[in-house]
Amino acid sequence: MANTFEIIDTVALEPIANAIGRATEITLGMFLGEEPRRNPHAHTEGDDADIAGIMSFFGEANASFAMLLSRKSATGLVHRMLGFELDFDSPDMVDGVGELVNVIAGEIVAQIELLGYRTAMSLPMVIRGRGVSISPRSNIPMIDYDYDSTEGVFSIEVVSRMSCEIQIGKPGHSSS
């Protein structure tokens, strides 16, 4: 039997999304030597996005954060973070993007706590493929920011509540 539940956040999305955007800018600024610039015309979605790193935050402020990267921006940002190049198609690139969003997530927790909310983070999840996109259910609000950087364009997407499907029991067995 599958059950669906939602963690509905009573905290407004905009300040949390701004904190997540600011954390992204601060963290990548350390790796790049200058902060990436928000640019609504620098869009990384659909055919442009080849990999996405996703983190969730739980506590007094619940949110999920996805960073969508092109092949070029993923390769460049991970290189700047690690100090050496990785082949985009290698399993190490998945680990590199996971570590990139994990480092950003540490700053996200700090930025959210500056707003007065305690929160904890999940482990990173990375999706790689041609034309990656993240689509929350239609009733879940989302804010996205598009960025230019010296390593290419990327986008972040933030949702303020999560929906999960939980499998209870094993198929063919009663959970009562």
Strand pairing report for 63-69 and 51-59: antiparallel
74-83 pLDDT tens trace: 999 999 999 9
Q: Residue ranges of the chain with pLDDT lower than 50?
A: 1-10, 46-47, 162-176
| Contacts of 96 by beta carbon, 8 Å cutoff, 6+ apart | 74, 78, 81, 82, 86
Q: Are 21 and 156 in contact (CB under 8 A)?
A: yes
d(CA 165, CA 54): 17
Query: What is the percent of the chain where pLDDT is above 90?
Result: 59
Question: What integer pLDDT is reported at residue 7 of this predicted model?
Answer: 44
101-114 pLDDT tens trace: 999 999 999 999 99
Domains of the chain: 2-135+143-166 (3.40.1550.10)
pTM of the entire predicted model: 0.81
